[in-house]
């Protein structure tokens, strides 16, 4: 299966369980890998045959912007669901990373994989 990868999309949102995390928006990095058969698009060179990853990016930004998730896992599930709603995407690997969320660590991240049912 082929993959389209959007790496480290920077979003700003309220994310966390602590009062301090709930007061202000923070930077969150989202990486997605969309698994799909890309042969047709490669052969035809037509956007109509491709996965429109620009629209996927816009949907992820819209879902995160203004969101107030408590758990990183919940945001990751929402992103995976958005990715799988696009025709042709059979599997979505999603990483949601919170830079600076753990002392002595650059970041903490959740990685999930969801498959079209």
Backbone torsions φ then ψ of 102, nearest 5 degrees? -120, 135
Known catalytic residue at 98? yes
Question: How far, in Å, CA of 91 to CA of 53, rounded?
Answer: 14
What stretch of H or E contains 22?
A: helix 19-23
Q: Which of 98, 105, 112, 114 is catalytic?
A: 98
Q: Are 9 and 56 in contact (CB under 8 A)?
A: no
- Count Cα atoms within 13 angstroms, Cβ side, for 92: 28
Question: How far, in Å, CA of 42 to CA of 3, rounded?
Answer: 13
Residue positions annotated with a catalytic role: 98
């Amino acid at each position: 299966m082929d993959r389209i990868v959007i790496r480290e999309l920077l979003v700003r949102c309220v994310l966390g369980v602590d009062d301090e995390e709930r007061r202000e928006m923070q930077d969150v990095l989202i990486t997605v890998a969309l698994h799909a058969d890309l042969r047709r698009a490669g052969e035809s060179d037509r956007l109509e045959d491709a996965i429109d990853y620009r629209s996927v990016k816009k949907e992820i930004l819209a879902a995160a912007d203004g969101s107030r998730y408590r758990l990183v896992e919940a945001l990751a599930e929402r992103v995976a669901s958005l990715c799988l709603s696009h025709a042709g995407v059979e599997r979505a690997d999603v990483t949601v990373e919170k830079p600076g969320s753990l002392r002595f660590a650059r970041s903490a991240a959740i990685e999930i994989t969801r498959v079209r049912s």
